[in-house]
């Protein structure tokens, strides 16, 4: 007697492989009884695991005989949480998999380069991120574009921040197809990331809060300063020649009492070096960016003439 978890140790397998290890009549019986389910032709899944995203994605890849791509590949890399909706795979252009409600099979004329993530192959992360971005900016083709766009954006920001994907590589991938949907906002975002922004708050600050020419010289983002203790700190933005720094406090990371004490100690250490730190709360940055900007300009100008 076969134990199904032994036949499907990963929770999903090709039907042909299970038949080979048992028999076609056994597989048919297990399907009739609900001991196995067949989400796609030729693919079997243990029913108690059929709702897991990892099982769903691998089942789609086995059925399509193609790697995960787009947002599904980004998810498999750990750069995004699993999202509702179909799994995305990519296959060579000459193939035309049948339409299925829970799988989107993209076709490509380009060479498919894959990497292994866990138990499944995916299209390499840089291409997958740009593919996901373009698809999330295609409302005519993608009914979930409104929900997916912020997910892909955050995955891209985090991927660059953690150095999983270089901003320059994403730009080169976008350059390979310069007419893809969403290219202009993608390039604008990559410019900000390449300039040192590491979060949505810092992007907001760069665009709406931090001043630059002609009011004051442009700031240096992610400026590193060595304290008298020998340790190094990074400042969100700074005018080193004026010895002025700006810190934009996030709603979560700087909200606790311990975080506030840490920030005060760091500001004091910077003050001993003659540096003034202008610290703006998340609420202030978001609701009064113009006021923050005016205050920064005033301080930088006054320090420049001292």
On whether both 119 and 216 belong to a single domain, the answer is no
What residue numbers bound the domain in which 260 lies? 200-304
Residue 58 in domain = no
DSSP class of 59:
H
Q: In terms of domains, do 44 and 139 share one?
A: no
Residues 69 and 16 in one domain: no
C-alpha–C-alpha distance, residues 255 and 277, integer Å:
18
> Residue 229: what are its φ and ψ, rounded to 5°?
-70, -15
Question: What is the token pair recorded at 141?
Answer: 């083709």
Pair 216, 95 in one domain: no
Give Dmax (Cα) for the chain: 89
Give every CB contact of residue 31 below 8 A, 6+ residues apart in sequence: 37, 38, 44
Is 57 contained in some domain?
A: no
Does one domain contain both 260 and 236? Answer: yes
Q: Is residue 55 part of a domain?
A: no
Query: pTM of this prediction?
Result: 0.88
State the Cα–Cα distance between residues 207 and 79, nearest whole angstrom. 25
Number of domains in the chain: 3
What does the alpha-carbon distance between residue 56 and residue 46 come to, in Å, rounded to a whole number? 11
- Residue 56 placed within a domain: no
Task: Render each residue's pLDDT in the chain as its tens digit; 306 residues.
Answer: 568 989 999 999 999 999 999 999 999 999 999 999 999 999 999 999 999 999 999 999 999 999 999 999 999 999 999 999 999 999 999 998 899 999 999 999 999 999 999 999 999 999 999 999 999 999 999 999 999 999 999 999 999 999 999 999 999 999 999 999 999 999 999 999 998 898 999 999 999 999 999 999 999 999 999 999 999 999 999 999 999 999 998 765 545 678 788 889 999 999 999 999 999 999 999 999 999 999 999 999 999 987
Burial code (b: 16+ CB inside 10 Å, e: under 16) for 48-86 equals ebeebebbbbbbbbbbbebbbbbbbbbbbbebbeebebb
CATH number, position 204: 3.40.960.10
Q: Are both 223 and 124 inside the same structural domain?
A: no
* 155: alpha, beta or left? (left if phi > 0; alpha if psi -120 to 50): alpha
List the end-to-end C-alpha distance of the chain, in Å, as a whole number.
87
Residues 10 and 37 in one domain: yes
Are residues 208 and 171 part of one domain? no
87 and 32 co-located in one domain: no
């Amino acid at each position: 007697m076969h134990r199904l978890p032994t036949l499907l140790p990963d929770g999903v397998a090709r039907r042909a492989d299970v038949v080979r290890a048992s028999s076609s009549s056994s597989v048919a019986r297990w399907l009739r009884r609900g001991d196995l389910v067949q989400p796609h032709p030729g693919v079997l899944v243990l029913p108690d695991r059929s709702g897991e995203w990892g099982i769903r994605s691998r089942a789609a890849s086995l059925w399509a005989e193609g790697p995960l791509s787009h947002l599904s590949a980004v998810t498999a890399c750990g750069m995004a949480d699993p999202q509702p909706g179909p799994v995305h795979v990519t296959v060579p252009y000459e193939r035309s998999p049948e339409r299925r409600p829970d799988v989107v099979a993209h076709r490509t004329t380009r060479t498919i380069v894959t990497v292994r993530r866990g138990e499944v192959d995916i299209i390499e992360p840089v291409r997958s991120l740009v593919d996901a971005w373009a698809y999330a900016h295609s409302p005519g083709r993608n009914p979930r574009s409104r929900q997916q766009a912020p997910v892909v954006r955050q995955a891209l920001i985090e991927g660059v921040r953690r150095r999983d994907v270089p901003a320059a590589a994403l730009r080169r991938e976008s350059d390979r197809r310069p007419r893809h949907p969403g290219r202009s906002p993608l390039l604008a975002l990559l410019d900000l990331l390449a300039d040192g922004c590491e979060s949505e708050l810092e992007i907001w600050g760069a665009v709406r809060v931090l001043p630059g020419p002609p009011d004051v010289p442009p700031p240096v983002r992610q400026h590193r300063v060595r304290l008298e203790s020998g340790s190094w700190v990074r400042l969100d933005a700074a005018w080193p020649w004026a010895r002025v720094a700006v810190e934009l406090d996030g709603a979560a990371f700087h909200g606790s009492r311990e975080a506030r004490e840490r920030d005060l100690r760091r500001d004091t250490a910077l003050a001993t070096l003659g540096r003034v730190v202008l610290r703006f709360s998340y609420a202030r940055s978001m609701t009064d960016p113009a006021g923050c900007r005016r205050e920064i300009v005033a301080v930088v100008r006054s320090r420049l003439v001292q």
